[in-house]
Structure 1
Amino acid sequence: MDNIRWGLIGATFIARDWMISAFRNTGGTVASVLSSSPERAKEFAAVKEIPLGTTSMDELLGGDIDAVYISTTNELHVPQALAAIKAGKHVLCEKPLALGYAGAKEMVEAAENAGVVFATNHHLRNSGTHLAMRAAIVAGKIGRPLFARVAHARYLPGFLQGWRLTDPKKGAGVILDITTHDVDSLRFLLGDNPKSVLCMTQTGTLAKGNVEDGAMTLIEFESGLVAHTHDAFTTKYASTGLEIHGTEGSLIGTDCMTQDPIGEVLLRTEAGEERLTIDRGNLYERGLRAFGEAIAGNGKPAASGEDGLWSLAAGLAAVQSGRTGQRVPVTI
């Protein structure tokens, strides 16, 4: 579906630096932006050439828009999504969908009952590296997957070093911010769901109070596969990676847990080593095209509301495990 008219709920960096151009490059238009600050709403709208900047949800939802993109802090997602759904708007929501599972499930079910499309902005499953790895796994290139490793430890840029490090009421901490992406990537690649999580956390050089800025998890999947993830806000010189090891081969992805269309994937089998062909297209645009097709009735979003529920449930289990030291089951 072309010409989707978008309302932005949140005048955020992700909207500014990534999503607005993706909306426009896929044939959409951005009609309005909402911020809690009138000054920020007007400034953001002016700089990004958006017709309306507002602090009123009623004004945004009452305008000529088809869908909303929600990128506000996590505690606001549920009431904002429910308001948009009630107004008959399709919803693309940032992860984590909510701070608690019940609220996330409520908005996913509300969208289903209202007949509107609800998607989670798990962008990494749209990257060329992930798509190439998924195709290789489906084709049986590595046999039965046995183990996985995700390296997603980076350094949180200064302009993001706010509530993510200090405010649990907004969903602070690396687990809900980053580990949820790892879970979604693994679910997408493996076609498998997490069964339980064991997590150890660290408060290192940036976070305050009981907020974790580093975490390592072991995740057991329903198939028996075991995955290890390393996530952090504090490592200045680390690179990202994703590996899947199977009975007949291994997939080794480098620089692949990022928004940028970079990274390589090596397939290693008895026959030798092969670098997979990577589609370098914009991953946000790929996700938006799937969202438009879903609105038109021609498929599903790249990451559905159910996908968002799985990643949130696993993230919440990891948070609980980090606090208790116990393995925690994952269910939706």
Structure 2
Amino acid sequence: SGHMEHRIGLIGCGGIAGTWIKAVDAQPDSRIEVAFDLDEEAARERAQEAGARAVTDLDELLGADVDVVVIGTPTPSHPELVIRAAAAGKHVLCEKPMALTLKECQAMIDACKTAGVQLAIGHTIRFFGTFRSVRRLVTEGVIGTPVSGSFDRTGATKPRRVDDDPRWSGHWREDARNSGGSVLEGFIHELDCTRCVFGTVAGVSADIAGNQEYDGYLSPQTVQGLVRFESGALVTARTG
């Protein structure tokens, strides 16, 4: 909003934090006041980058004079952090994927509704110019009611063995049990964008191919799905 200043608390000072810091810096009415991470050095580095105060105690951030928190931590931590932030009366912008299970997602929604705060998930592609233009053409009736569509986004994931790059060894995103794999890390963008254009989803069928072995488990590389909407429209979507 151009009429309201937002004081932001940053929860999680890993790789994605740099993106959020740049995004906030571009908004004249917003600033990051506090940066939290369990890793003191990471918190200090991101705080310096943002011109904020570094903390390693989450309660200290939640008790600070901020009205919005941005959560950029590993997916399994999202439910607890969102629920605690809501209980502290903070509006929440949480990185995608929202959570690993529908039950956790609903608990996050319920907590924010009960607290009277807003919850947004960081599905960024829906705000890209191309998709905003397509949505406008549909909502304004310029191209009529769409009955089918195709969404193809390649290059989103690449086969990568942990031992090929030591930076990724043991990284939480490499374990599908923590990240949700390509379905939640990548394909969720396709689902979100098609919802923006076609409306409410009635059902999804999908399959995964190109699995690559990572230390005894398989990480999906390519996802292709057929999405049916309540309007009757059918959309094919692929990422990989």
Q: How does the TM-score come out when normalised to structure 1? A: 0.64
CA distance in 1, matches of 2:108, 2:156: 32
Name the SS of the counterpart of 1:145 in structure 2. Answer: coil
In structure 2, the residue matched to 1:83 is: 84
Is the contact made by 2:212 and 2:220 (CA closer than 8 Å) also made in structure 1? no
Aligned length: 228
In structure 1, the residue matched to 2:109 is: 108
* Offset at residue 205 of structure 1 (A): 4.5
Q: Give aligned-pair identity as a percent.
A: 29
In structure 2, the residue matched to 1:198 is: 205
Name the SS of the counterpart of 1:149 in structure 2. Answer: strand
CA distance in 1, matches of 2:42, 2:137: 46
Q: 1:164 aligns with which of 164, 173, 177?
A: 173
Name the SS of the counterpart of 2:147 in structure 1. Answer: strand
Question: Which amino acid letter does the alignment assign opposite residue 84 of structure 1?
Answer: A
Q: 2:233 aligns with which of 214, 225, 231?
A: 225
Q: 1:173 aligns with which of 176, 181, 196?
A: 181
Structure 1 runs (4+) deviating above 4 angstroms are 155-161, 205-208
* Offset at residue 55 of structure 1 (A): 1.9
Does residue 1:24 correspond to 2:25, yes or no?
yes
Aligned-residue Cα RMSD (Å) equals 2.0
In structure 2, the residue matched to 1:152 is: 153
Question: Which amino acid letter does the alignment assign opposite residue 197 of structure 1?
Answer: V
CA distance in 1, matches of 2:99, 2:89: 20
> Counterparts in 2 of 1:1-332, with a 5 A limit?
1=1, 2-16=4-18, 18-26=19-27, 27-46=29-48, 48-156=49-157, 162-165=171-174, 167-190=175-198, 192-205=199-212, 209-232=217-240
Question: Which amino acid letter does the alignment assign opposite residue 117 of structure 1?
Answer: Q
Is the contact made by 1:11 and 1:35 (CA closer than 8 Å) also made in structure 2? yes
Flag the structure with more relative contact order, 1 or 2, with Cα contacts below 8 A and sequence separation at least 6: 1
Cα gap change, 1:207/1:221 in structure 2, threshold over 3 Å: closer, same or farther? farther
Q: How does the TM-score come out when normalised to structure 2? A: 0.87
Is the contact made by 1:84 and 1:90 (CA closer than 8 Å) also made in structure 2? yes
Name the SS of the counterpart of 1:197 in structure 2. Answer: strand
* Offset at residue 15 of structure 1 (A): 2.3
Cα gap change, 1:15/1:57 in structure 2, threshold over 3 Å: closer, same or farther? same
Name the SS of the counterpart of 2:205 in structure 1. Answer: strand
1:193-252 deviations in Å (ceiling 9; x for gaps): 1112111102445756132121111111111211111111xxxxxxxxxxxxxxxxxxxx
Cα gap change, 1:206/1:231 in structure 2, threshold over 3 Å: closer, same or farther? farther
1:19-54 deviations in Å (ceiling 9; x for gaps): 2122132221101111121121112222x1433222
Question: Which amino acid letter does the alignment assign opposite residue 196 of structure 1?
Answer: G
1:288-329 deviations in Å (ceiling 9; x for gaps): xxxxxxxxxxxxxxxxxxxxxxxxxxxxxxxxxxxxxxxxxx
* Offset at residue 12 of structure 1 (A): 2.7
